[in-house]
Structure 1
Amino acid sequence: MSLNFEEVRLSLPHTELAAHLYGPENGVPVIALHGWLDNAASFARLAPKLPGLRIVALDFAGHGHSDHRPPGGSYAIWDYTHDVLQVAEQFGWQRFSLLGHSMGAIVSVLLAGAMPERVERLALIDGLMPYTGEPDTAPQKLGEALRAHLALAGKSKPVYAEFDRAVQARMRGVGAVSREAAELLAQRGLMPVPGGYTWRTDSRLTLPSPLRLTRAHAEAFVQALQCPVKLVMAEQGMLHAQPSIAALLEGLPMEVATLPGGHHLHLDDEAGAELVADCFKAFLGVP
């Protein structure tokens, strides 16, 4: 596996984000967006298999080596779209493609639906729409979020005496991953503390959402997409077993490919990364 990337920090008007840069400076502009609680290492296997693209693999705010939101701030999913747009502005990209996995795919859809004039293409990996909530559940959900926020001050992050214990925990986490994938994510996602290691991620990322889009809201963003879209679904992933997703896709003009593997099929092993790369090469303009 090639790790031929450049580590950079991007000073945006409102925050500072970390990223891995892959490919030539004059390559096809692509911003790669990882999933919830992951980091830029999510694309460590895939990005080198897409030569000719200028891939900016971000650490989302609160993840990896990027800054956390300021005190009192939150991590509403639509706020990430502003971060991504500011990254494009910094690189001088008026048009760019998005390569998104899971939450990163959802952010990609929100941005492309809202600002179709900026997004050239969408390459999505096992992600499409955010979790939704209907109006009648809104008061309950806000209450749950507020109580969880109050309780956060009394909680602490887990500390792992050994690096391998953190790797094992990540293997069993949300969107279970292979050992090699967990090691890649942990190498970037951990920091040393007294007694061992803990995650760099902002603890507020684990709080429940105080407000969710309704199903109608979420589908409106998908319906608003104007650019070409290619979605890779994993056979053992998070989308494949959802009948509502299948029904939605039937009426949309997007390419859909189903590949063997789990939710992190692009990172779990070289074979999965190769399959995903083969799906996206021609689509993203790899020479």
Structure 2
Amino acid sequence: MLRGLSSSTHVPVKAFFSRIMSTHPHMAKSTEPKEISIPIPNGHIAGKVWNEGGTPILGLHGLMDNAGTWDGVAPLLPRNLSLIAIDFHGHGLSSWYPAGVYRHYTGLLLTIERVVQHFGWEEVNLLGHSMGAGAGFMYAGTFPEKVKKLVMIDLVKPISTPPSYQPERTAKSISELIAAEAKLNTSPPTYDYDTIVEKQVKSYGLSITEKSAKILLKRGSVKHPDGQYSFSYDPRLKIGYMFGMTFEQQKEFAERLQCELFILKATARPMYELQETCDEIMNIYEKRARKFMYQKVEGTHHVHLNHPELVAPVISQFFSKAASHL
């Protein structure tokens, strides 16, 4: 399926920046990032900002990832685009969920809204990968008047839960959560650096390279005084949500979209749900979104991290059109 942009044509980075620099001389390659910490009721949301002061784009990472997922893309963005990449709860350098609290997908929307209010944005552009893409979609359906543009990388929609599956899923999640809570105060396993890198690569299947694993580990691990490393994520992240969303509920969020929407789908990954289900919701996108584009990009689920040169030009072009009119 091809909508809006050619799936077979990739814009080379050099060609893209040569073209855009010729029409916008003030736009140069991105500056070094600045670390930020946003206070919230139960701690803080950590993140980093590239090109502070430009048109804001909020970067939303996938499950078990962190703000480092944009380390390759961000330096390739034009300087008039400001990428604010956050670590969701329990990821990267952000606070974990409080003891006794279970996470839910809607908690991601609450985090996004806290960040939006912190910066005083009346409108926001969203750049999401996987879980972050799904959260961006749901936020855009929850607050359609606030989202100007949304890019979803390797996700057409959040994975839905059929109602008949829900009771068993809930029971499984409750049991796993209680078991995980009993281990929260224990010391995590430690590894030498090469081993933790290897474990990171293996845990993602064939989705990330060794280089990408090292990038994620910068925010996703802690080094101990003895030189050993351990993962720093909240172990409760591995537990499935107690309640999922049905496809019917997701369609209601899609019906409320008003933003421009661009889906960049990796070729090496499946659609995650039946093709007819994805087609149905994309038909809603075409009707409700201000503009809808769909493009395929060659690569794995983490194509933006492994090969940012394939992703940065097209998303830069998508967001720069908005920036040029502000």
Give the SS at the match of 2:299: strand
In 1, the alpha carbon distance for the partners of 2:187 and 2:132 equals: 24
In 1, the alpha carbon distance for the partners of 2:30 and 2:123 equals: 28
Equivalence for 2:115: 87
In 2, the alpha carbon distance for the partners of 1:29 and 1:170 equals: 31
- RMSD, aligned α-carbons: 2.2
Which AA in structure 2 matches 1:233? K
Residue 71 and residue 140 in structure 1: after superposition, are their counterparts in 2 closer, same or farther (change >3 A)?
same
Structure 2: unaligned runs, 5 residues or longer: 1-28, 287-291
1:49 pairs, out of 76, 92, 108, with: 76
Deviations, residues 105-160 of structure 1 (Å, cap 9, x unaligned): 00000100010111110011112322221222222111111111222245567624
Give the SS at the match of 2:105: coil
Note if contact 1:33-1:57 (Cα within 8 Å) is conserved in structure 2. Answer: yes
Which AA in structure 2 matches 1:80? L
Equivalence for 1:146: 174
Which AA in structure 2 matches 1:48? P
Q: Tell me if 1:181 matches 2:219.
A: no
Equivalence for 2:281: 248
In 2, the alpha carbon distance for the partners of 1:41 and 1:180 equals: 12
TM-score, normalised with respect to structure 2 = 0.81
Q: CA deviation at 1:201?
A: 0.7
In 2, the alpha carbon distance for the partners of 1:12 and 1:147 equals: 29
Q: Tell me if 1:71 matches 2:99.
A: yes
Structure 1: unaligned runs, 5 residues or longer: none
Equivalence for 1:190: 221
Equivalence for 1:172: 202
Residue 3 and residue 183 in structure 1: after superposition, are their counterparts in 2 closer, same or farther (change >3 A)?
farther
Which AA in structure 2 matches 1:198? S
Note if contact 1:80-1:107 (Cα within 8 Å) is conserved in structure 2. Answer: yes
Q: CA deviation at 1:54?
A: 1.4
Deviations, residues 20-56 of structure 1 (Å, cap 9, x unaligned): 100131x111110000000000000001111211111
Aligned residues between the structures: 283
In 2, the alpha carbon distance for the partners of 1:2 and 1:193 equals: 33
Equivalence for 2:314: 279
After superposing the two structures, state which structure 1 stretch, 143-152 or 248-257, moved more.
248-257
Note if contact 2:254-2:284 (Cα within 8 Å) is conserved in structure 1. Answer: no
Which AA in structure 2 matches 1:36? L
In 1, the alpha carbon distance for the partners of 2:154 and 2:52 equals: 27
Q: Tell me if 1:135 matches 2:163.
A: yes
1:226 pairs, out of 258, 268, 286, with: 258
Give the SS at the match of 1:66: coil
Q: Tell me if 1:264 matches 2:302.
A: yes
The percentage of aligned residue pairs carrying the same residue is 28
After superposing the two structures, state which structure 1 stretch, 61-70 or 74-83, moved more.
74-83
After superposing the two structures, state which structure 1 stretch, 169-178 or 36-45, moved more.
169-178
In 1, the alpha carbon distance for the partners of 2:212 and 2:160 equals: 29
Larger Rg: 2
After superposing the two structures, state which structure 1 stretch, 40-49 or 161-170, moved more.
161-170
In 2, the alpha carbon distance for the partners of 1:37 and 1:192 equals: 18
Q: Tell me if 1:31 matches 2:64.
A: no
